[in-house]
Structures are given as C-alpha cells and as structure tokens.
Amino acid sequence: MKKVATRFAPSPTGPLHIGGIRTALFNWLYSRNKSGEFYLRIEDTDKERSKDEHKTQIINSLKWMGITHDGEEYIQSEKIDEHVKIAKELLEKGYAYKCYCSAEEIEEQKKRAKQKKIPYVYDRKWRDISEDEAPKNIKPVLRFKSKIEGSSILKDLVQGDVEIENKTIEDFVILRNDGTPTYNLSASVDDYYMNMTHIIRGDDHKINTFKQIQIYEALGWDIPFFAHIPLIHTINGKKLSKRDHASTLEDYSKIGILPEALRNYLLRLGWSYKDKEIFDLEESIKYFNLEGIGKSPSKLDMSRILSMNEYYIKNCEENSLYEKFREYCDIYKDKIKKEKEYSIKSSLIFLKNKAKTLEDIFNNSKYILNDTVTFNESDKNLINDEAKKIINLFKENILELNVFDRRNLEEIVNKLIKSNNTNFKGIGQPLRISLTGSRFGPGIYDIILSLGKDEVVKRLSDIG
C-alpha cells in the first residue's frame, strides 16, 4: 500500500474563499487521518491573472486555519519544462496532434453551435489531416487525442461510479500556440510527479478528471483515486464565488470568528459522523473519512457559524482566550493598553458568556478599554434625580470601604434597597449606566470589580 498523499492546488487568480478552504481542510484531514502527506501546489500558470498578493492571501489563510503542508510549496510555473516535455512525448507516441485552426475558426464553430443550440465540441478537424497541408501562417496548438468510441467509468470515492460517453470529451488543448501547457496537462503531470494517491477536489472538476485519466492512461501511469466533493452554495443556491459577500477568511476573522470554530463548521458542512457536532482538532483527524461526505451541495449558514463560534469562545480557557482577543484587537481594533491588560484578562470569565464573536467581547469591554464613558443618550435619560441620589449614596458608602470585594458591595446594595424603599433594578440600572454608558451589560458587581474602586468613584462623581 502506497503512503497516502493529497494536495491542495489553488490558483492565485483571486482570494481563496471558504469553499477552497474546505477542500484544503478535507485533503489535509484525510492525509492526517491516514498518516500520509499533504502538499500545497500553487497553480500559477495563468501569467495574466496570477497575482502575488493572492498567493500570499492563500498561504496566510491556510496558516490561519492551522492547515500545514509538508515540504516546500510547489510552484507549478517552475515546472513548465516538465509539462512541455510530456506534451512532446504524447505527440511522439501518437496521443496528441497539432491543430492549425485559427482562433477565428474556433470562434466561428462556437457561434454556430450556439445558434443551432447544440453543444460545442471541437470538431477534431486536424486529428487526421496530414501536417503537409498545414497553413504556414498559423502557429498550432497541441491537442490530446481523446477516445471516441465507448465510454469511461470514474470510480469516484464520494459519488460512486460515474459513466460518461467518451465522445462527449473533446480533444482538449494541452499546449497553447505559444508553447505553454494548459491546466489538464500540468495538473496531471504534477500530480504524477508528486506521487499523489488521492485527489480530493470540488465537483466542478469532474469533467477534467475524465480528461486527466486519459493522459494517465496514455503515459501508462497509475491512476490515483478521485473524490469529488459537492460544492458549497450561497444562500441562493449558487456556486460560491469570490465575489460573494462573506466568502473569504478575512470576512470571518475581522468579526472575530475563531479559526477552530470555522474549522469545525466547515468540517460538518457536507460531512458527518453520526450525530456528533463538536470535533476538536484531534477528533477531526481521528474520525474524518471519505464515506461521511454527502453527495448534495450545502448552503452556508451564518447563524450556525456564529453559534459554533459562541461555543468555542465559551469553552476557551481565559488565558488563551485573552491571547486571541489581544491579537484580534491588534489587527482589527486598537491595541490594548498595558494598564488595561489585567482588568480585561480577569473580566473574560464573564465577558465570554455574552459573546458570539471576539468583536462582541470587544464591544462589551469598551467600558474597560476606554477611559471615558460613551453614553447611550436614551439610557442616560433614565438617570433622574432619584437615581442620582442613589448613585451618590452608593459612592459615599464604597468610599468608606476598606475591603473592596463582592460581599461588601452586595451588603451596601442591600442596605440601600431597604433604606430607599426600592428594588435591585432601582440601584443596578443607574449604576450600570453611569459606569458603562448603557443599561445593557455584564453583571453590576462584575462591572464594579473589573473597574476598581478609584475608577468607579471617578465615574460616579462625573454623573452624580
């Protein structure tokens, strides 16, 4: 049994979106599950559209998700010579031929096909014409001589047997007229040289697979296993594209989604293991298999991502949650000031129970992060003279406190409830508003303790 090897092969012609990330995740998980290898191959042979910034974005995205590849990144454009060599070999062996059709001629064929409402397939014109008749002014492309008779069966590890008539596969171009290789050739050659055992990729590659298998066969190479996973659809049921809202990783990281939450969500999107919903990293690797992959496309569901994230935040130990939060603020908000660090850190225990995202934590901790209180106007209006009186009484009481702790604070509050003939709300609400600017927020004792006596007195004095 050969050692399992998988790869993720994105093209840097646009930012990597969440569908690509899932493909990468599945490949990675599969290889890890089999104690195999996982490689990253950058398919940058489209010189026009490939951009370095996208390559960087792809690599950073994978890194953020914790998907690590073995060895160096494989840069496809560096291997073009190999691909051309194989193309020549195919020509010599009679598996390919030069096609002298002009671009106009091909356009014409396509137009006609469209008019007649019949599918366009290259008419294989030059397949059997002698090269002696070739026009001198046209640089030929190299086409693969596809099978015409019979049909082929793809034994897909997800979809089962897929049968297709060979004649529906056209004689596809393997070398452009500028001598550069095209995708199907390059991908096949690379996969072969990289010793790939399993090709796990999006459903949209299925036709390519039939082409690539023919190349393998022509060269006498062992054919790897293929698994075509269903695509992720938008809420409108269409293939997810780079242009769709909330499709790149950055769209998620900037609102404070944790990579482990997204990983768990993506894992369960189109894959399942019994009724299990939560998979930590170890479990993901342990349970992942191809059998659990569903056949139908699935839609992205933001509320599910959010609730998964909420779960991971709640179950994250405070110190490591602080690190994540600090990093998040560094990148997307303001750096946390040194003197606020302790206070934030010790508040996470209650802050995290109110948060679905790191951004929620940020919003709920603004009263600590900022030195001045920003009031919600309608909330501020709730502070009437009666409320001010209580605020002042409370302030006087804590001023006399030697030990500033929860028990003593509770005692004061209870005393004030009695002496002022009010209820908890009558005290808690004005305090919360004057300390945080809003009537919504963490528990009042949590707020007071996280701010510290001096700051509390200062803020109460400002309003009272």
Is the CB of 36 or the CB of 297 nearer to RNA?
Answer: 297
In this complex, which beta carbon is closest to RNA, that of residue 37 or of residue 44?
A: 44
Tell me the residue type at 373.
V
Find the shortest distance in angstroms from Cβ 123 to RNA: 12
CB of 82 to RNA, least distance (A): 15
Angle, helix 453-463 to helix 385-399, in steps of 10 degrees: 150
Rounded least distance, CB 152 to RNA, Å: 10
Which residue number, 33 or 77, has a Cβ lying nearer to RNA?
77
Give how far Cα 274 sits from Cα of 111, 228, 281, 287, 300, Å. Answer: 50, 21, 17, 10, 21
Q: Which is nearer to RNA, 67 or 229 (CB)?
A: 229
Specify the residue, 2 or 314, whose C-beta has the smaller distance to RNA.
314
Minimal distance, residue 406 CB to RNA, in Å? 8
3-state SS record for 110-159: HHHHHHCCCCCCCCCHHHCCCHHHCCCCCCCEEEECCCCCCEEEEEECCC
Distance CA 106, CA 198 (A): 35
Helix 259-268 and helix 302-314, axial crossing angle in degrees, nearest 10: 130
Residue 207 Cα to chain centre, angstroms: 25
Shortest spacing between CB 202 and RNA, in angstroms:
7
- Other C-beta atoms closer than 10 Å to the C-beta of 319 total 9
* Best CA proximity match to 333, nearest among 312, 359, 355: 359
> Which residue lies nearer to RNA by CB, 37 or 191?
191
Q: Return the structure tokens found at 300.
A: 């992205």
Question: Closest separation between CB of residue 277 and RNA, Å?
Answer: 5
Q: Which is nearer to RNA, 35 or 296 (CB)?
A: 296
**86-92: Cβ within 8 A, 24+ apart:** 86/185, 86/189, 86/219, 87/142, 87/174, 87/175, 87/181, 87/185, 89/219, 90/142, 90/144, 90/174, 90/215, 90/218, 90/219, 91/142
Hey, what amino acid is at 242? Answer: K
For the bound state, the minimum distance from the C-beta of residue 357 to RNA, rounded and expressed in Å, comes to: 12
Cβ proximity to RNA: between 3 and 49 the closer is 49
Kindly state the smallest distance separating residue 323's Cβ from RNA, in Å.
22
